[in-house]
């Protein structure tokens, strides 16, 4: 089911949660709504679900205006941040709930319910837990049961609020992969909310970035990473070195091989992996000092100090593959030359 949002705005008292959001989500996509906490992403998810009403704007599902329709009439499945499993029901009854509350005419009989619930439990690989209660499950198990419960009513859209937020790091990694594969198999339009950019980039086929109730940018993960449209997106997605265009900086940037576009912007962002370093042959050519480095698995993160305004040192970060760093044979305090491979220019501070 495709989703179209037209000019959605929502205020809570004096707080503008969402400002004129326009968004189109084609059928079958796996979309991440990404942003820092309080940016309005959860509110938007709840508006799509019908748990919240927008102050203005329209929600179109499959081309139909459902702005004023109840959550029950929208054909969506919602997975809550804290799973919201019914604590007084077994896992089986939790999943069966959506089938049991159907109007009498559409309600499947007990055998069909049993078959369907067990099929869903097998889908989430937890059939052996069917007679447990929610408080006897681990976080990851609850998450998958919540998902199975939402899928029981065969929703056309699956909405997930911070699906991995309350889980351990290792469980989270597994579940991300699992959700991706599940989406590939079911191919149901899915939207999830997250504040974790890594999670959004890894799982989603399309990422929508929010800040302060505004939609900042949308696109595929690589589009957003490679071409951030503004300073906020650039800072929020991945690591970056931010350098303001003042005199002492522009000199350094030019020395490092960057062509300054005059008047075009007032700051430049350089991703750590776009900053190349080489051992300096002479002190005069050096532009930075090697301060320290950390191992990030296959990559090395290098901490550099460069001369800032009135002589105070400023820290920059560079990243390069482990092997390459070893070949440079650098040690702490060595003078290095920097070369900027690629940079982004931005206007606002």
Partner 1 sequence: MNTHKLTKVAINDPVWVRYGLIAVSLATIGLFLLLPLVTIFIEAFAKGWQKYATELSDPNALAAIRLTLLVAFICVPLTTVFGVASAWAIARFEFRGKSLLTTLIDLPFSVSPVTAGLIFVLLFGAQGWFGEWLQDHNIKIIFATTGIVLATLFITCPFVARELIPLMQEMGSEEEEAALSLGANGWTMFWRVTLPNIKWGLLYGVVLCNARAMGEFGAVSVVSGHIQGLTNTLPLHVENTYNEYNAVGAFAAASLLTVLAVVTLVLKSFLEWKQQRT
The rounded distance, in Å, linking the Cα atoms of 180 and 297 is 24
DSSP string, 118-173: HHHHHHTT-GGGTT--GGGS-HHHHHHHHHHHHHTT--SEEEEESTTTTS-HHHHH
CA distance 115 to 117: 6
User: Shortest gap between Cβ of 87 and partner 1 (angstroms)?
Assistant: 7
Partners of 196 in the beta sheet? Answer: none
CA distance 203 to 214: 22
User: In a 10 Å sphere around its CB, with 0-12 CB exposed, 13-18 middle and 19+ buried, how is residue 312 labelled?
Assistant: exposed
- Indicate whether 68 belongs to the interface with partner 1 (CB under 8 A): no
124 part of the interface to partner 1, by CB under 8 A: no
Binding residue for partner 1, selected from 21, 31, 85, 207, defined by CB under 8 A: 85
Binding residue for partner 1 (CB under 8 A) from 8, 152, 330, 343?
152
154 binds partner 1 (CB under 8 A): no
Report the residue from 16, 153, 245, 260 that binds partner 1 according to the rule CB under 8 A.
153
Residue 45 vs 300, nearer CB to partner 1: 45
Q: Which of 24, 101, 296, 341 binds partner 1 (CB under 8 A)?
A: 101
Q: According to the binding rule CB under 8 A, does residue 102 interact with partner 1? A: yes
Residue 78 touching partner 1 (CB under 8 A): yes
Contact pick of 4, 16, 23, 51 for partner 1 (by CB under 8 A): 51
- Comparing CA positions, the residue from 201, 162, 202 lying closest to residue 178 is 202
Report the C-alpha gap between 347 and 180 in whole angstroms.
Answer: 36
Query: Can residue 123 be called a binding residue for partner 1 (CB under 8 A)?
Result: no
Residues that bind partner 1 in the complex, under the rule CB under 8 A: 49, 51, 70-72, 76-78, 80-82, 84-88, 97-98, 101-102, 149-150, 152-153
């Amino acid at each position: 089911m495709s989703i179209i949002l037209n000019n959605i705005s929502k205020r809570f008292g004096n707080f503008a949660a969402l400002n004129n959001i326009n968004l189109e989500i084609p059928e079958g996509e796996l979309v991440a709504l990404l942003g820092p906490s309080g940016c309005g992403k959860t509110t938007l998810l709840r508006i799509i679900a019908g748990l919240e009403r927008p102050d203005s704007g329209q929600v179109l599902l499959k081309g139909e205006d459902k702005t004023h329709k109840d959550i029950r009439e929208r054909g969506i499945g919602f997975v809550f941040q804290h799973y919201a499993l019914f604590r007084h029901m077994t896992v089986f009854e939790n999943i069966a709930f959506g089938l049991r509350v159907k109007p009498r005419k559409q309600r499947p009989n007990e055998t069909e319910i049993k078959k369907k619930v067990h099929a869903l439990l097998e889908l989430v690989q937890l059939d052996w837990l069917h007679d447990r209660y929610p408080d006897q499950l681990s976080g990851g198990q609850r998450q998958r049961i919540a998902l199975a419960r939402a899928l029981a009513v065969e929703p056309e859209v699956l909405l997930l609020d911070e699906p991995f937020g309350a889980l351990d790091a290792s469980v989270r990694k597994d579940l991300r992969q699992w959700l991706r594969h599940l989406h590939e198999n079911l191919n149901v339009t899915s939207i999830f909310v997250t504040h974790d950019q890594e999670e959004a980039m890894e799982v989603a086929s399309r990422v929508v970035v929010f800040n302060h109730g505004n939609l900042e940018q949308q696109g595929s993960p690589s589009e957003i990473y490679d071409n951030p449209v503004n300073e906020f997106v650039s800072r929020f997605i991945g690591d970056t070195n931010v350098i303001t265009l003042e005199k002492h900086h522009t000199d350094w940037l030019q020395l490092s091989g960057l062509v300054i576009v005059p008047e075009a912007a007032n700051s430049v962002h350089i991703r750590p992996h776009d900053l190349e370093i080489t051992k300096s042959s002479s002190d005069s050519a050096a532009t930075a000092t090697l301060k320290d480095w950390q191992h990030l698995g296959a990559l090395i993160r290098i901490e550099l100090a460069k001369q800032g305004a009135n002589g105070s040192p400023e820290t920059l970060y560079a990243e390069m593959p482990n092997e390459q760093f070893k070949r440079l044979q650098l040690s702490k305090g060595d003078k290095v030359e920097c070369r900027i491979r690629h940079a982004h220019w931005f206007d606002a501070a």
